[in-house]
Chain A
Amino acid sequence: MADEIDNTSDDPREKAPLVTGGLDYAGVTDTVCNIAERKTTLAWKIAFLIAISWLGILGACIGYLMTTGVGVWGNNQPASWGFPIVNFVFWVGIGHAGTLISAILFLFRQNWRTGINRFAEAMTIFAVICAAMFPGIHVGRPWLAYWLFPLPNQMTMWPQFRSPLLWDVFAVGTYGTVSFLFWYVGMVPDLATLRDRSTSKIKQIAYGIFALGWTGSNRHWHRFERAYLLLAALATPLVLSVHSVVSFDFATSQLPGWHTTVFPPYFVAGAVYGGFAMVLVLAIPARELFGLKDLITQRHIDNMCKIMLATGLIVVYAYADEFFTAWYSVNHYERFAFMNRVWGPYWWGWFTMTFCNAIAPQFLWFPKLRRKLWVVFTIAVLANVGMWFERFEIIVTSLTRDFLPSSWWMFKPTIIDLLMLAGSFGLFFTLFLLFCRFLPVVAMAEVKTVMPHSHAHPEEPGHRRDEHRSDYWPDEHRPDTDDDDSGYDPIAPQAVPAPA
């Protein structure tokens, strides 16, 4: 790492570069496009083989489940929900960071987001796919899961709108749709770049179809920016709503340990925490493998660590708050739920969770440790483990010991439970590897806007104009250079040339 430039300084007098290595516009384009254009590497092939094998196992497990019954899982009488719902909440949480990065940070003008937003969004979409799969196959009669949708029918049978599970359907469905649109719309200029650089007919056609005829005209850029802005505004409340609604599954029930009003913010914070951890888990190896060190710099990682730390602290606060509330309520069922979580038969889950979510991220207070990538990577992995155990603890400890002691019973996962959890990672990584192989993993167009070149005056050295290239941000949008990191302000009214 010695060769890496430390751009993590927060000295307000200096502008920290977000693209290092002296890359210019063409350099950015070449770096990113090369990943999709070069020959398939051996590392990718091995990774893909492993991922798709697990996906195959997942498929086999689902087939077995369909033909046999949901009893292949370890769910039982008090614990009617087990691994599938734990996994569902876990994956929805992972799916949080991407849209947060691309929408909320966009609105807050956090320009460092440009280096990571593309694959963070991709991660979101793939995580939502993994998440949405679980409730679908979790129901007793999966072939009727479509009854959850409000489909008009001759019997005028409607879903029951008081059920939080139904809210989930809408929340996750909307979130998935908007996230996908946001991701795709943002990718259109980059797809056009890939199309233009394609050497084979097939690639030209394939990228061409998805590039939607992008030419880079002013009108295109104008429409694109407005659409992007609108989608960001649309996606922003969804980031907060989706996990809030997922938390309602628990918060609106009467089960001690679930019945907690702090759940919506607690879940959102936890999701952001876990989501950023997952972005780091993906970004740290990816920048090595794909040579993206100049685009995903130390500063990016540093910023993500800070967000993890902040949200991690909110999560710790929520944990503490739950215990306080249980104690303060003088409700012995509530108090028991939390005593049982710590000292009951699933104590190991609680300690794992607490270590991973409350203790491990504290190392991120130290800038030196934040710069050690293996430390960051380890903490990020632990955060994901911790977040999975958090959901396990919430769901399993509360269900296995509720009101009547006669129905208390332990939950034990079966081999199918474990294979399906691993298989969902197979699905996730299969999709992610395909994305890395064929799509622009970094938002080239957006990165270019945060490069010093785009804000430079024409007479400044290093500025290059190439009007025949479609892959750079138009000069007319030159922002106020006094702005922080890079200065481009997509929200401020722009000087737009009048249509011809």
Chain B
Amino acid sequence: MPSINHHVTGIEYWRSLEQLADAPEVLDALDKEFPGYEADTIASSSRRGFLKLMGASLALAGIGLTGCRRWPEEHLAPYSSNPRGRIPGVPEQYATMWELGGVASGLLVTSYDGRPIKIEGNPTHPSSWTVKGKIGSADGFAQASLLEMYDPQRSAKVVARTKTGEKRDSTWKAFESFASKHFGEQKADGSGFAILSESSSSLSVADQKKRLLAAFPKAQWFEYEPLTRDGERDGAKTAFGRPVRPVLHLDKAAIVVTLDADLLSTHPAHVRYAADWSARRRSADPSGEKPGEMSRVYVAECGFSITGSVADERLPIDPSRIYPVAKSLAARLGVTGVTSDEHLSEMEEKWVASAAADLKQAGSAGVVAVGPAAPPHAHALGYAMNQAIGAVGNTVMLVEEQEADRPSHFQAIADLAGQITSGKITTLLIIGGNPAYDAPADLAFAKAIESVPVTVRLGLYEDETSAVCKWHLPRAHYLESWGDARSWDGTAGIVQPLILPLYGGKSAIEILAIFSGESETAGEQIVRRTWKPLLKGDDFDLEFRRVLEAGVLEGSEFPAAKVEPRAVSYPAAEPRRPGLYIRFEPDAHTYDGRFANNGWLQETPDPLTKLLWENAANFSKKDADALGVTTDDVVSISVNGATLPVAVYVLVGQPVGVIGLSLGYGRTVSGNIGNDLGFNTYLLRTSNAPYSILAAEVRKTSESHELVMTQNHHLIDSVGAAGRDKRIGEKYESGKIIHEASFAAYKANPGAALGGRTVGLQLFDPPNQFNSPHAWGMTIDLNTCIGCNACAVACQAENNIPIVGKQQCRKHREMNWIRIDRYFKGAPDDPRPEVIYQPMACQHCENAPCEQVCPVGATMHDSEGLNTMVYNRCIGTRYCSNNCPYKVRRFNYFDYHSQDPRHTGMPWNNLPDNQQMETVDKIKRMVFNPEVTVRMRGVMEKCTYCVQRIHRTATAKRAEGKDVEDGDIITACQQACPTQAIVFGNLNDADAEVTKLQKNPRAYAVLDATLDTRPRTRYLAKIRNPAATETAKEA
């Protein structure tokens, strides 16, 4: 072969004179140094030579054998001008706000190369910090809203409907020209123009509303939320003559009494409340914040809520009993004008007497909270009781409500429906919400919308409401748009976009600007304009950026309301009518239906029922037995002429006489995930009785419906029940999975928490191992865990955990790395069963049963105590899972990431070793955390203690020459936990929180005494604080 060097082109470099001379001995030497390559090919820099070499390299690298390729194709797209401060591959965090039902909470969003991948609570925002300045918590809905942003089925197009109802794609331009023409034609005063908006705390929306109403003085603004807290407003109106908002400080509360108020879960401020509540629960420990001052929680409720499940004294009653119970309690607390003339049942009497005694004793350290579904007079009683014990100003702050004069949501929507029917409305703008689906059934709102000549809908999805509107406009997700919002106490923050709108949507304020014909329609400018008067200081840009960075405007909470209680005459309670009450409740998966298309939430089990992917009618055991039905049977419920067949779920502890129906299922136009799941309970809901109603008829049908849940505890055979009781069972026995004690017993003897027993003498002392240089460990406090699932969603987002779909859940193949085991204590017909939640993830056993049975060594221990999974070594024998006594390992039975969860079970032809990048939806894959491997089918996976977080921080610290300090590494579950029940850290560090907690007298390791697994995760026993009379009896 002639040397190609003879035809060198371009600049020529040479290494030595001999090479330049192309001497044969040099070529020989080159050949020796690079065997297998033609020296002249290597040395050549000619185009032809280069192509030859490239051709061979490509062939060898397997371009011709793409079937064997196991890595994703990468495209380099370098910045032509790098955004300031952007380092590729380094995650950054931005503060923002998120609104649900008109109340916002602070968030911190992690962005990786321009795509948001994780949502956490903002540690500087009062609505979300759990450890001020360090850890912020966001609930499951907030965290899962990330998936909503990436949902490929979110609305991406402007859609116009012709008069015949035909749907055609349109453009923003077309809409804008229509709008300017239409509103130009409109009477300048805007008569006949109505806006139906979802509830919003946004300052800019309020400003835009003002501007719109200025432009169209006769336009009407209606606000509607299906899950509303207007009951509280009405109650305050009864008590004070105008609405005020109660802001509670549970960290100061020694005695908490709630009347159907789910403070820890469905309350808009539940993250704050749960964090504060947990401080007073940790006080059970001598090391707690207020040692020995553990709070006692009394809950009277008409369903079975999270707050009820962690109450010390729970009173399950039907909705008609809330008022008489409140009245009796108030009478005993000496509220003026209230006489205790109500007849109470024995159970009620005991509860009221005990709560009244405790509240009296606690004085200003007591608090009474009344839930949104309670009648106004019950709220008035609540305010009066708080006044009477002196709680107002200490544990309860009454602050000014926004828009004090607006009608209640149900009045508003009924009013709007009336006006539409009478033909007064000619143009209707619907911002957010989904009234065609969730408006009260008696209003027939979907039909009403259809009758309006011009209807414009701004929505995240093309849903039931879009289907009946003439125009549908895609809404920008809050992660894509500018805005602002206020939390429950009024603290304001800015919503900032993390990414440009994926599907070209626009935000509410931008749309309102278009409607009112403003010149400024850019979201950022609108927000800046709103905030200009709010920010003090000379340099607005700087101040604005400060707020953006912190995510909070300090001192912007609502001012205290100066209200004087009015004399209220409290009517006598109506006698209870026979029959079953229906009670409408928010759903744990879909809230009010809006998250129906969110797979993460669909697959997060309901805290108490553990139902997935659907809802059911919660029946008490007694009512179910009386009707002759049990779980999975279908009953038909009739009320106001509407009939709904719905599956029964027998919920232990559900109040007798109350059927719990969660709202938000039975969606028909929500997307591939959410369509046709569960039962649409809105069909039974009317505007005059939106919270609860007496069912006209509840009839057993011959049908049955197999509900899907992650844990089944009812309907167990007697052998299973006996085995279960032995495991969890008797109080004060060691070697059990669950340990608990009463506060009185624990105070007297801390050893009581573990049943007074310790592990006896061991033949082999556990060796001190796996602790170099750190020894990672975790504690989970059963005393503060409220089962809210925030940790489970956090884990799903952090660790790229797939959803598997309803069918696979039915087979019990969920992938959650952390699950919350829920156990009931008491007989199935016990009206007041005790509940315990036990989050269960990999325990990182030092003596791990899984490790020794893996034939390929795919699960091993590292030197710091992590039980690691080597995904690419795993062949999937699943032996490890069999040998795991905690059953926390999860197996990819299919390629879950690439399949459609609703057509699941049998996805065809995902060829072996086809990496997910090829098959996962291009948008959906953007949500992946790049620091965590996306697992393929056939491999085992499990909790890693967030190894990626550990190493990211530890490596960075090592580079600085420092060691990891306590609090530097926070696992995703710990981060999300509103009650700090989960603590992670280095057990080598004697001062670390986790080390201290593992020495707590409540600390124990599950199954360790039985199996000597030596888990690194320890649990802290639950302490209950039942009323003094009961404790006395027990002792």
Contact = CB atoms under 8 A, between A and B. Distances in A.
A binds B: yes
Interface of A: 66-72, 74-78, 80-81, 135, 138-145, 147-148, 157-160, 162-166, 169, 249, 252-255, 332-333, 336, 339-340, 343-345, 399, 401-409, 412
Interface string B396-411: 0000000000000000
A403 B885 contact: yes
B853 A164 contact: yes
Nearest to A399: B882
A147 B870 CA distance: 14
Contacts, number: 199
Contact of A140 (B910, B939, B1006): B939
Nearest to B814: A77
Given A68-B910, A405-B727, A80 B808 contact: no
B819 A406 contact: yes
| Max chain A C-beta neighbours (<10 A), residue from B854, B856, B879, B890 | B856
26 contacts: A68-B907, A69-B893, A71-B808, A71-B893, A141-B874, A144-B875, A157-B856, A160-B855, A163-B853, A163-B854, A163-B855, A163-B879, A164-B853, A165-B877, A254-B883, A336-B726, A339-B723, A340-B723, A343-B718, A345-B720, A401-B723, A403-B727, A403-B1010, A405-B713, A405-B727, A406-B838
Given A69-B894, A401-B720, A406-B821, 8 more contacts: A76-B812, A140-B878, A141-B874, A157-B873, A253-B883, A404-B885, A404-B886, A405-B713
Contacts of B840: 404, 406
Contact of A81 (B814, B838, B882, B905): B882
B856 A68 contact: no
| Max chain B C-beta neighbours (<10 A), residue from A74, A159, A255, A406 | A406
A74 B907 CA distance: 15
A344 B720 contact: yes
B853 A165 contact: yes
Contact of B937 (A69, A169, A336): A69
Contacts of A71: 808, 811, 813, 893-894, 905, 937
Given A76-B812, A343-B717, A404-B737, A139 B885 contact: no
A140 B891 contact: yes
Contacts of B712: 408-409
Contact of B812 (A78, A81, A404): A78
B883 A68 contact: no
B852 A162 contact: yes
B261 to A, nearest CB: 29
B123 interface: no
A164 B812 CA distance: 27
A250 to B, nearest CB: 9
Interface of B, helix, strand, loop or mixed by DSSP: loop
B875 A145 contact: yes
Contacts of A140: 874-878, 891-893, 937-940
Interface string B951-977: 000000000000000000000000000
Contact of B719 (A67, A253, A339, A405): A339
Contact of A340 (B719, B814, B1007): B719
Contacts of B910: 67-69
Nearest to B895: A69
A67 B909 contact: yes
Interface in B332-364: none
Interface string B1004-1035: 00110011000000000000000000000000
B117 to A, nearest CB: 27
B7 interface: no
B913 interface: yes
B387 interface: no
B1001 interface: no
Contact of A336 (B718, B723, B822): B723
Given A67-B910, A405-B723, A141 B883 contact: no
Interface residues of B, number: 69
Nearest to B912: A143
Given A140-B891, A165-B877, A406-B819, A148 B856 contact: yes
B857 interface: yes
B532 interface: no
Contact of B908 (A67, A74, A253, A255): A67
Nearest to B878: A80
Given A77-B812, A140-B892, A160 B857 contact: yes
A255 to B, nearest CB: 6
Given A77-B813, A252-B853, A139 B877 contact: yes
Interface string B807-818: 010011110000
Contacts of B891: 77, 80, 140
**Nearest 4 pairs between A and B by C-beta?**
A140-B876, A140-B938, A71-B893, A406-B821
B710 to A, nearest CB: 8
A139 B875 CA distance: 6
B192 interface: no
B728 interface: yes
A189 B893 CA distance: 50
B881 interface: yes
Interface of B: 711-713, 717-720, 722-724, 726-728, 737, 808, 811-814, 819, 821-823, 838, 840, 849, 852-857, 873-879, 881-883, 885-887, 890-895, 905-913, 936-940, 1006-1007, 1010-1011
B882 A255 contact: yes
A209 B611 CA distance: 66
A412 B222 CA distance: 53
A74 B881 CA distance: 16
Nearest to B853: A163
A64 to B, nearest CB: 8
A77 B726 contact: no
Nearest to B726: A332
Given A68-B906, A253-B882, A254-B1011, A139 B857 contact: no
Nearest to A336: B723
Contacts of B857: 157-160
Contacts of B808: 71
Contacts of A336: 719, 722-723, 726
Contacts of A135: 877
A69 to B, nearest CB: 4
B908 A408 contact: no
Contacts of A255: 882-883, 885
A158 to B, nearest CB: 8
| Max chain B C-beta neighbours (<10 A), residue from A70, A81, A138, A401 | A70
Contacts of B938: 69-70, 139-142
Contacts of B1011: 254, 403
Contacts of B913: 141, 143
A402 B887 contact: yes
A76 B811 contact: yes
Contacts of A66: 912
A497 B354 CA distance: 106
Given A71-B813, A140-B891, A406 B875 contact: no
B878 A402 contact: no
Contacts of A252: 853
Contact of B821 (A142, A145, A253, A404): A404
B886 A403 contact: yes
A68 B874 contact: no
A344 B724 CA distance: 12
Contacts of B939: 140-141
B809 to A, nearest CB: 10
A72 B937 CA distance: 12
A408 B823 CA distance: 13
A74 B853 CA distance: 22
Contacts of B852: 160, 162-163
Contact of B875 (A148, A169, A253, A340): A148
A249 B719 CA distance: 27
Contacts of A148: 855-856, 875
A385 to B, nearest CB: 24
Given A68-B909, A406-B819, A75 B878 contact: yes
Nearest to B913: A143
